[in-house]
Every structure is written in structure tokens, then in C-alpha cells.
Chain A
Amino acid sequence: MLALDAGAYASRWRHRHPGEKALLSLGLLVVTVALPPWPGALFCGVAALALLLGPARVGARIVWRVVRIPLGFILAGAVPLLVAVGGDPWLALDPAGLRPAAELVGRAIAALLCLVLFAATTPLADVVPRLHRLGVPPAVTEIAGIVYRLLFQLLESVRVVREAQAIRLGFRTWRTTYRSLAGQGAAIFVRAFDRARRLEQGLAARGYDGELRVQVAAQPVSRAFVAATLVLLAGIVALTLLVVRA
């Protein structure tokens, strides 16, 4: 299981309408990116983290497991902002770059937390079949649904193949490692197409007419949640503008 997907099914907001959670977390995300990072990103990041750990009940361990790899990229990507090139000397530390680098890191961390707020509370199985309401063609959402269903089986296959290779000393040298990795790649290809063929046969036997109908559980939209979201977003915008003007 992927940490975010497992978290989404275990979260307390699991049964809320995906639209509510999208409004809240993607609203926060848009506000984070659009407002000046100081103090807008700080407010949004704190709000997202508090919502994650508080009402949504996503464990701190899951949040840390999910954010630590993107954090590395965020920090590495900010390093070029600290140096200036092309002057004399050609490469020099630029003290003026500290502020934009800090703003960039702050905004990116806040945005990451907003993304995690959505991803760790909303299973994709609830989102994908509803995407056609946003104008995505049904054929595309159906393909995305098949990708979602197949990828967990394939990830499990890779895990099993990797374990079998490790037991047979498949990762002892660079040479064997590459051979083993190629084996994993080829195994996923063969299994993905084999699964697709079997699905094809199974569907044909059940009268497949070109449409994959999936039952989507009806979830009512909570007006209180939507209202609270709008108040929170408006509050953050107003507070940020107040601090910036002061």
C-alpha cells in the first residue's frame, strides 16, 4: 500500500464528499501560491498541518513519511537562489538571495502540506469517477480508473520479484543489479498486459459494451463544511493583507 492511499482510507474525513475536501485543500493551495509567501504561506501551511493532524486525524508519521522526499527536492532546488553567476568573481554567494530562497522554501512547504491535506483524506477511487463532471471525457476517466486499479497489483508484483531476486543474490554487484532491475521492468510489462487481457476476457464474458460502469457512492455535501472552508480562506486572505499593509 502507498502511505498516502492507506492514510486516505483511514482518515476521519474518508466519507466526506471529495468536492468539499477539494474546495478546502485546493482553495488553500491556490491561496498559498497567490498570496505573498510572508505571511500568507505561513498561515496556509499552519492551517493545512493543523487540519491534517486535528480534525482529519491523519497521523504525524504518515505526514512525515510522505513529505520527506519532496522536502529534499525543495531544499536542493533553492540552493541556486543563494548564488549569483556571471559577475566578478564568476560564482559568488549572494546574501540578497537568502530572502527569495527562504520565501520559495516556505511557499513550497506550505503548498506541499495543502496537497497532502487533499491526498491523505481523499481516496482516488472517489475522485476519478467524478472527474467527468469537470469536463474530462469518460474514456479518459475510465482509463485512469484502470491505471489506478492495476498499479497496486503491479507494485505488489515488483515487490515480490525484488524479494525473490534479493534472495538469489540478485543485487550483489552492479552487473547483477541492472540485470535484476531489467527483470523487474520486463515483468511489469508482461504482467500489465496479461492483466489487461484477462480483464478484457472477463468483461467480454459479462457483456461488455464499451462502457465501464462503476458505482459511485452518493455522499451528501455538507453546507457547514463548505461555509467553514470559505470563512477560513477569507480569513487567511484578510489577515495576510492586513499584515502586509501594516
Chain B
Amino acid sequence: MHIAEGYLPPLHAAAWTVAAAPFVVHGARAVVRRVREDPDSKLLLGAAGAFSFVLSALKIPSVTGSCSHPTGTGLGAVLFRPPVMALLGTIVLFFQAVLLAHGGLTTLGANVFSMAIVGPWVAYGVYRLTRKAGGGLGLGVFLAAALGDLATYCVTSVQLGLAFPDPVSGTGGAVVKFLSIFAVTQIPLAISEGLLTVLIVRLLVRVSPDDLARLGIRTRTSEEVAA
């Protein structure tokens, strides 16, 4: 759910950039520290960023007959943690703006806030809660991806609602309007993304449990190996 270039009035664009900045700076600091301790992690982080970009370019068939793209937010947050995703997400969104014209530079702050900050934190929080409550890896990953996606879409609707209040019912009404117009594509997309993410993680558990273990994802296979 990218907000297109030039969509937000200048004050809103600036305000969302200011709101996103501390998270991105915090993520960048964490990454710089990690790279200083282990220079090789630079390449792994680059791989993670490229993975997020290409994952969001996969075409999911949607009910309406057209194609939609997953956000990759949920999987990214579970695999690489939200602070790192704040930075990687910013890089990916910048690349999407200048390589695909999806999103934009004036709306980068708003898009970073919804897709690289709120989405990953919601996804990661949901994943941790589900795992703590005794839920399996599959359930945790499904809820993380689906709810991370929904959170992103709700934040985008709020951002648009704040920028274009309804003449009768104000910002609240405008948010409802944007929520309902995007619900047609976003709710089925959230569910498909959840399912797809579960299938991807299941495959990864089978083919590269070591990489998952290195990223701190506990799977039955990696526990058996550790034992």
C-alpha cells in the first residue's frame, strides 16, 4: 500500500518524515554497530534487503482477477527484527520509488512509517505473543504476516484521512472512506500473504534450517540439530 508521489500536502509529507526519522536513525545506528563488530554482516544485510525487495515484487493472484503484491513486512520482521527492518524497509521503499515509480520521495516518510515501522512492529509483536502463548511456527507466521499487512493498510488509510478530511464527518469519516475503498483488495491480500508466508517458511524449514537458526528462528529441525 504505497502512497503515490505528490499525494500528500507538504506539511503532512514533512510531518510523517519527522515521525519516521527516529526509528530509521535508530535502525541505522543498530546496523552500523553490528557492521563494525562483524564486517561480514554487511553482505547478509544486503541479501536481506534484496530479498525483501524481490519478495514484494512477487505477483499474488487476487480475487478481483488482477494481481497484487505482498508487502513482505511480516516475514521480514520475523526474520530480521523490526529495528533492522526500519532501515532495510527504507532502502527498499527508496528503491521502489526510483526503480519502479511505486511510492515516492515526498511520500517516503509516510510510506516508511506505515510499511517499515508500524507493519514490522505489529507483525513482530503478534509473532512473539503467539509463540509465547504456545502457538506453532506456522500460526505465528500466518498471524504476523496477515496482521502486519492489515496494520500497514490501516495506517495508510489514517494518513490519507488526515490529509483529506471529509466535508461532513471530518477526518474520522475520511478514514472510514479510505479504509472501505482499499478493503476490497487489502483484506483478501492480507489473508493470501499470510498463507503464502506460511508456505514459504515451511519450505525454508525444510531446505535451509541453518540459515533460519542463524536468524534466531526456532524450528523443530534446528532444535533437533542443537540437541
Contact = CB atoms under 8 A, between A and B. Distances in A.
B79 to A, nearest CB: 8
A138 to B, nearest CB: 9
Given A85-B176, A182-B196, A183-B203, A188 B54 contact: yes
**Which among A4, A114, A189, A199 has the greatest number of chain B C-beta atoms within 10 A?**
A189
Nearest to A44: B6
B70 to A, nearest CB: 8
Nearest to A112: B5
A139 interface: yes
Contacts, number: 242
B196 A143 contact: no
Interface bin, chain B? 35 or more
B173 interface: yes
A4 B3 CA distance: 19
Interface in A1-52: 2, 4-5, 26, 29-30, 32-34, 41
Contacts of B7: 74, 77, 104, 107-108, 111
Contacts of B2: 73
Contacts of B44: 193, 196
B130 to A, nearest CB: 20
Given A73-B4, A150-B47, A140 B167 contact: no
A122 B99 CA distance: 10
B13 A33 contact: yes
A181 interface: yes
Given A29-B6, A196-B44, A181 B58 contact: yes
B221 interface: no
A32 B181 contact: no
Interface in B194-209: 195-197, 199-200, 202-204, 207-208
A138 B168 CA distance: 50
A110 B181 CA distance: 24
Nearest to A118: B98
A77 B32 contact: no
Given A158-B58, A184-B58, A193 B47 contact: yes
B42 interface: yes
A43 B42 CA distance: 44
B42 A5 contact: no
Contacts of A197: 43
**Which among A100, A108, A183, A185 has the greatest number of chain B C-beta atoms within 10 A?**
A185
Interface string A91-120: 000101100100010011111101110110
A202 B105 CA distance: 35
A182 B200 contact: yes
Interface stretch (B89-97, B120-128, B146-154): B89-97
B16 interface: no
Contacts of A208: 39
B164 A147 contact: no
A237 interface: no
B19 interface: no
B173 to A, nearest CB: 4
A83 interface: yes
16 contacts: A26-B105, A76-B181, A97-B167, A112-B5, A115-B98, A118-B98, A143-B46, A143-B88, A144-B91, A146-B42, A147-B49, A147-B91, A154-B53, A155-B57, A178-B196, A193-B47
Given A26-B105, A76-B181, A197-B43, 10 more contacts: A74-B7, A84-B166, A107-B6, A112-B5, A127-B98, A139-B36, A192-B47, A196-B43, A196-B47, A199-B43
Interface of A: 2, 4-5, 26, 29-30, 32-34, 41, 66-67, 69-70, 73-74, 76-77, 79-81, 83-87, 94, 96-97, 100, 104, 107-112, 114-116, 118-119, 122, 124, 127, 137, 139-140, 142-151, 154-155, 158, 174, 177-179, 181-186, 188-190, 192-193, 195-197, 199-200, 203, 208-210, 212
Nearest 5 A/B pairs, CB to CB: A111-B6, A146-B46, A86-B169, A182-B199, A210-B39
